[in-house]
Structure 1
């Protein structure tokens, strides 16, 4: 079966919403904020009817999590602020993801003269956030100390990192050197031994981040396979799946050595960005396409290669957003988020004999970005768009989505919940994993819904207010409002 399958499963043009995005471009941020509060008048009759199926359609597998990507919680402005933020996280998130280095965490092994990694302070503090919030900890095994890494250049040479490069831009273009793989695996082993044990009890690990350093400028492609490269010298040529397989084996061995049943430790890859293109002339376009554009064939190949060549995997983790790689938008931001569901559908379409796990592995979005193209300063629009994206995850069968950072959950000190917090909290409280869901249809394309036996979440995707008839209840929605009503 071909890795690339064309989808044209929607016939809706999206013209109305595209026009809305253009309309919003006419206004300044202050005017956008004013328009975001447009609400129905008290005498406005229902203009939209929501229909809910009488039997459940499918069961949600979805859980929302957050990635801790800075030092705001380990070095807070005040203990009061930290306490309030942790309370908000506990109410809205179920996973806390931490990278072992970078994004607020120090290098755990900065000195190659030292036989062991010992610099655990910031990583301990970040893992403590998960304990304090009662969320499930996830460790992302990325980045790596400078002395282990190098960048592959277009002329075939490799540039080794220096001590000053530990957190410089070049580190994100570098992979572990082929001849330092044993050092990397030793660091992975020590991290696993420390954090699988109490009190942290980590059981989820993502391997690397966005294939950083695995881009091959010689081939204009990702080195995603299981080649070991050239370990006879300081080369950066091994494939991602080669590294992943050794990390996978190391993590399972540590689990067994600590008396943990290895299947309880979940390891995921390949954490590749699922890029897309608007231009029909883009040479890396695939045939997986819809109104927003076409997915990048190289990203699809990484997923397929990992599925085919991995030694084992417990979940499949990917990354992406609703903005095309060439920064051109063919449709409105809401329609563009339907890319997330298309990626999942493509993965599920792969032949499981050739690509083991394609139809069964839980799918995680390690990072996801729903960008409001024209209204960045409108929190209600931002919330509606993000919540609509969660519906794409839920309806396509995604298991976990990790939001990048916490900032949209609240306003500045003192931490005050924002609109996105309300939606994240509603999903966790009213639609947790295991909830049977009922198919909905709306007489207005502006209003979409998610329904369980006891609750209905409504999203107004429009600048205009609406009044929705939900099983006889009249529910007013101001522009871009998200609400939950009881059935």
Structure 2
């Protein structure tokens, strides 16, 4: 028999509703908790709209698997919150926040993006093109955006967690061929101070830069963070380090990224091994900033035509996602939000539930079942244990265990005979199985 060693994470978090999970704070002390656990982000289409039956079913589905939920200030299902200076429209955001309150343990708001008049547009008009959402407010309007953030914090006093901006949108300096981290940090600091002034218990984090990576051997010069998955883009490293040195303060550090490189899956044929990036980058972030680590988005499947991820079978996708969650937990991530790629039709690879636009919508899909179970079994602060794995199965299986549950993933596309924790069983290709200890 060979022993597969699983590392111990040290963050604490608030993973779900119901009884307080082991190793976590009570509901009355949630605002002081650095990690919320495993949850998801609402996108353009979500459970707040659709058929009456679909919405009811989705709300029950989410209430049965209570997890932290994230919503953006503008875009991804929310209309322009301030179409003209001093004129507000929070109808969409109100509806999403109400949904999060009813069905999740903790609502989170990502403070992006900016009304058009803050970025050169005309008051009263909203351009919903991709270019508009990718545009940052002009420096002259940084304070206006911070004031809007404060208005939002006052409107939703029970929301305690705020992420500032999204993927450095509009903050790339083409002339310098790097991120404009000076501009972003200036905006961040104004927002941070505004939110803390509104309520000292508000928790704020950034910089939410993309943790891009280059294929193995492609980086120029020594890479600060590297692994079998490649090396972390030095431009991302520079942005994180600058923000960390010059920030007014932070309660957590936020990034997003994928296990594949900027060139897709080139030179990394094993999507399972590529997820080691999430462990390596999380540990580096913890060491560099000394802050709890949040992943605002994480991806494992390279996008195809039109940005859609339809190339893998659902079994393979779920198996790689399960492995990614293991890697995030192994690195000590305190919070990670799954980007729910919700669509209006029945074909929705990787979605968490069937579209509420359908008469029979709202029922859970494989990824929601995995995410909800993972959140319940392995909240931040879990003490992971070593597990016995048969020698002929070790190279085929990924295993994560604590004192109550074991998660086993078959990384091959063919069945294996597994022996884990003293139990023998057959596991199909890309199979995912939970065992009770």
TM-score where L is the length of structure 2: 0.83
Q: Residues 60 and 432 of structure 1 are in contact (CA less than 8 Å); yes or no, is this contact kept in structure 2?
A: no
Counterpart in the other structure of 1:222: 179
Counterpart in the other structure of 2:376: 429
Q: 1:169 to 1:472 in 2, by over 3 A?
A: closer
Q: Distance in 1 between matches of 2:63 and 2:147?
A: 33
Q: Distance in 2 between matches of 1:210 and 1:454?
A: 37
Q: Distance in 1 between matches of 2:222 and 2:295?
A: 21
Counterpart in the other structure of 1:481: 431
Is residue 204 of structure 2 the alignment partner of residue 267 of structure 1? yes
Show CA shifts across 1:214-239 (max 9, x none).
Answer: 001111111112xxxxxxxxxxxxx1
Show CA shifts across 1:271-317 (max 9, x none).
Answer: 00001112745559834222222211010111111111111100000
User: What root-mean-square deviation, in Å, do the aligned CA atoms of Structure 1 and Structure 2 show?
Assistant: 2.5
Counterpart in the other structure of 1:39: none
Q: Distance in 2 between matches of 1:284 and 1:101?
A: 39
Counterpart in the other structure of 1:346: 284
Counterpart in the other structure of 1:176: 137
After TM superposition, list the pairs within 5 Å mapping 1:121-160 onto structure 2. Answer: 121-150=91-120
Q: 1:325 to 1:93 in 2, by over 3 A?
A: farther
Q: Residues 372 and 381 of structure 1 are in contact (CA less than 8 Å); yes or no, is this contact kept in structure 2?
A: no
Partner SS state of residue 53, structure 2: helix
Q: Which has the higher strand share?
A: 1
Counterpart in the other structure of 2:76: 103
Q: 1:388 to 1:56 in 2, by over 3 A?
A: closer
TM-aligned CA deviation for residue 449 of structure 1: 0.9
Q: 1:93 to 1:270 in 2, by over 3 A?
A: farther
Q: How many residues align?
A: 393
Which of 389, 407, 418 is residue 324 of structure 2 equivalent to? 389
Counterpart in the other structure of 2:345: none
Show CA shifts across 1:311-348 (max 9, x none).
Answer: 11000000101221133522211111111111122223
TM-score where L is the length of structure 1: 0.75
Return 5+ residue gaps in structure 1 as ranges. Answer: 1-48, 151-159, 226-238, 256-261, 351-357
Show CA shifts across 1:234-271 (max 9, x none).
Answer: xxxxx11111111000001111xxxxxx1x21100000
Q: Residues 59 and 437 of structure 1 are in contact (CA less than 8 Å); yes or no, is this contact kept in structure 2?
A: no
After TM superposition, list the pairs within 5 Å mapping 1:397-412 onto structure 2. Answer: 397-405=332-340, 407=342, 408-412=351-355
Q: Residues 284 and 297 of structure 1 are in contact (CA less than 8 Å); yes or no, is this contact kept in structure 2?
A: no
Q: Which moved more, 1:341-350 or 1:134-143?
A: 341-350
Q: Residues 460 and 482 of structure 1 are in contact (CA less than 8 Å); yes or no, is this contact kept in structure 2?
A: yes
Show CA shifts across 1:350-370 (max 9, x none).
Answer: 3xxxxxxx12x1100001111
TM-aligned CA deviation for residue 59 of structure 1: 5.0
TM-aligned CA deviation for residue 50 of structure 1: 7.0
Q: Distance in 2 between matches of 1:433 and 1:252?
A: 25
Counterpart in the other structure of 1:71: 45
Return 5+ residue gaps in structure 2 as ranges. Answer: 14-36, 304-308, 343-350
Q: Distance in 2 between matches of 1:161 and 1:209?
A: 23
Q: 1:128 to 1:340 in 2, by over 3 A?
A: same
Counterpart in the other structure of 2:192: 248
Q: Residues 80 and 89 of structure 2 are in contact (CA less than 8 Å); yes or no, is this contact kept in structure 1?
A: yes
Q: 1:327 to 1:178 in 2, by over 3 A?
A: same
Counterpart in the other structure of 2:19: none
